Structure 1
Amino acid sequence: MTSFALDGRIALVTGGGQNTGLGIARALAGAGAHVIVNDITAERAEAGAAAVRDAGGAATPVAFDITSYEEVSAATKKIGEEIGVVDILVNNAGLPAGAQMLPFLETPRHEWNPYIDINIFGSLHMMHALLPGMVEQGWGRVVQISSGSGSVASRGLGGTFYGASKAGIEGAVRHIATEVGPMGVTVNTLALGLMEKLRDAIESKASPMLNAIWEGNVMQRIGTGDDVGAACLWLCSGAGEFVSGQTIHLNGGSYSGR
């Protein structure tokens, strides 16, 4: 019988202190995994871990900046020594703090790099640090959280560099999956549509482009962290072991988040 159980597994969720990341952490912990809740601030990491524990799961907060290869290397080494080999990695950390979705021609050059740093380099840092342990033990799961913006352009919404960075990491994931697949490690992407944190903007109808994306949502509801957590659980469990190198759109029935 196919199992969704993750008993004895160690999972690390970046950006796991709030919103979608917290939903993912709760889902994995609910299936039996010990979840390491990462966030860039200790306060958010601790709050996320506390929420997982309050729900009956096992969680440890670890704060570090995924855009720093040095911090990632030091933190993951310490995790390996004190907790064990990370079996599951969910790269959820995404939009840079304070980022504004401006049209390309209105975006100053200095605002381009943060998207690339967090969405591409941050995820690559995490995979580069943790995949060797998965490969060595012959089992591992990586789930990259992305966006429909990586597949479909939305005129007027802005976010050129956000979409470009998401498309870039999706391409990297497909290539990495071919390298580690023979060693029992799967690597997949979940491309999200409209999520809970956009509820106020959608309900206020302040953005014509968001309105258009909402109209294309077949189910006419906003995605939640629990929705994403359930999809992550499938990919990380025995039920999803034959799925790798894929970008799966999770968006209420509208292709590529539109």
Structure 2
Amino acid sequence: MSKPGQRVLAELRKMIASGELAAGERIVEIPTAERLQVSRMPVRMALRVLEQEGLLVKAGGRGYTVREVTEDDIAGAVEVRGVLEGLAARQAAERGISEETRAILRTCLDEGDRIFEKGHVLPEDLEAYHSLNMRFHQAIIEASGNRAIAEALARNDHLPFASVSSLAVDRDNLPREYQRFNFAHMQHHAAYDALINGQGARAEAIMREHANATLRYAEYFHPPREGVAVLKKSVAGEKDRA
């Protein structure tokens, strides 16, 4: 997707997450392009992607409507992700972690340590964490050697806000976000320790609990919060699943 398309996609995601585009609201290509002051093509591509992600549904005739996202929708999809990523971690630990995978995981941990060691975060820090988080999860999935896990996760990622590559952040409360993401980073450290020591059951339990932290996303959408943004990018260029 072009850079204009990526910008439109990111903007529309934020508008849906914050409630600026409400559930059931109709989205049509031309008015949306005018609203965002772009041409029709990037809007057309962005709307198709959002449909694939489960955020939009085809409307009768032309255009789309915003899909209603319930707490149960998010909770169910995240629980499935936790089971699958837990299985990946267990199988990776039991197979043994290669030096290449160990180096990737270690690099992610080091980057996270630098982000959180100053005791606070800025929005750009959370974007950096978003990138390393995807790489960390992707490395574990690949280390499992189980292609079926990656394929099942790819299908699950089409549910709203289910993917690990989608992070909801509250820019109006960065001190709380520091606590939340620093805790998630500590879980990464614990998962790494279990993985390199071949502790499959422990690695599985940690990754399942790690996914459960995502369940707090539901708080951000009911009711919508103005400071909320969704950080999400395709890992094409990094990998398409994290």
Q: Which has the higher helix share?
A: 2
Which is higher, the Rg of structure 1 or of structure 2?
2
Q: Which has the higher strand share?
A: 1
| TM-score, reference length from structure 2 | 0.25
| TM-score, reference length from structure 1 | 0.24
